[in-house]
């Protein structure tokens, strides 16, 4: 890389670190090109960028960002996952690292919170936004379904139910 390319790389990476809600750092040594392509494809499907980094230059890009505390993780063959959704990226990386032992998750940042390996694993167990919405809708629908079934029941069942409630 010449000087202009390095400056462009630093500017681009600085912008990506600042604009990402989640940055997860991994070591990819031992993964084949096909495995890396598969991982990138999975990440791209969810709007996540998975990029192999140049450590020395990336550390310069990190210097003035909210991710500056991640500098120590950038040693060896490093790649980062940059996304707006920490949970999805953590889930994908955790699942992929279980299937491919060569991918090692080192840590990351979610919002302003620094995550270690255990922190990333905890984030991976959280429900995604869509899963959380589905659970909330299920909870809200449940009482309405019970009321509807009571109202549609024959009058004798309602009388029995009222009698049981009055005894309590």
Residues 66 and 138 in one domain: no
pLDDT bin (cut points 50, 70, 90) of residue 66 is confident
Q: What is the predicted pLDDT for the residue at 81?
A: 92
Residue found under tokens 């299937």 = 99
Predicted TM-score (pTM) of the model is 0.73
Domain that holds residue 86: 3-126
pLDDT bin (cut points 50, 70, 90) of residue 153 is low
pLDDT average, residue stretch 19-26: 89
Strand partners, 51: 80
Residues 121 and 151 in one domain: no
Residues 93 and 160 in one domain: no
Indicate if the pLDDT at residue 117 is higher than 70.
yes
Residues 6+ apart with CB under 8 A from 150: 157, 158, 161
Provide the number of structural domains found in the chain.
Answer: 2
Question: How far apart (Å, rounded) are the C-alpha atoms in residues 157 and 2?
Answer: 82
Residues 35 and 78 in one domain: yes
Residues 83 and 159 in one domain: no
Residues 6+ apart with CB under 8 A from 10: 57, 60, 61
**Based on the number of CB atoms within 10 Å of its own CB, is 106 exposed (0-12), middle (13-18) or buried (19 or more)?**
buried
Q: What is the pLDDT of residues 119-150, one digit of tens each?
A: 888 888 887 777 778 888 877 777 766 666 66
Q: What is the predicted pLDDT for the residue at 111?
A: 82
Per-position DSSP letters for 121-160, written without gaps between them: HHHHHSPPHHHHHHHHHHHHHHHHHHHHHHHHS-HHHHHH
The CATH number that applies at residue 104 is: 3.30.70.1730
Residues 55 and 98 in one domain: yes
Residues 11 and 38 in one domain: yes
Q: What is the predicted pLDDT for the residue at 44?
A: 92
Indicate if the pLDDT at residue 41 is higher than 90.
yes
Q: What is the predicted pLDDT for the residue at 35?
A: 92
Contact assessment for residue 46 and residue 83, using Cβ atoms and an 8 Å cutoff: yes
């Amino acid at each position: 890389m010449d000087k202009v390319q390095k400056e462009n790389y630093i500017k681009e990476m600085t912008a990506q670190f600042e604009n990402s809600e989640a940055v997860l750092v991994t070591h990819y040594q031992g993964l084949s090109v096909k495995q890396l392509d598969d991982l990138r494809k999975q990440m791209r499907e969810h709007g996540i960028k998975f990029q192999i980094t140049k450590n020395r230059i990336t550390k310069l890009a990190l210097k003035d960002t909210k991710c500056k505390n991640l500098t120590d993780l950038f040693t060896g063959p490093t790649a980062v996952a940059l996304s707006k959704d920490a949970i999805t990226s953590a889930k994908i990386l955790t699942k992929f690292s279980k299937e491919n032992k060569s991918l090692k998750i080192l840590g990351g940042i979610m919002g302003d919170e620094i995550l270690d390996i255990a922190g990333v694993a905890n984030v991976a167990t959280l429900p995604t936004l869509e899963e959380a919405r589905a659970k909330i809708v299920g909870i809200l629908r449940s009482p309405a379904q019970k009321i509807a079934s009571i109202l549609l029941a024959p009058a004798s069942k309602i009388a029995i139910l009222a009698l049981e409630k009055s005894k309590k």
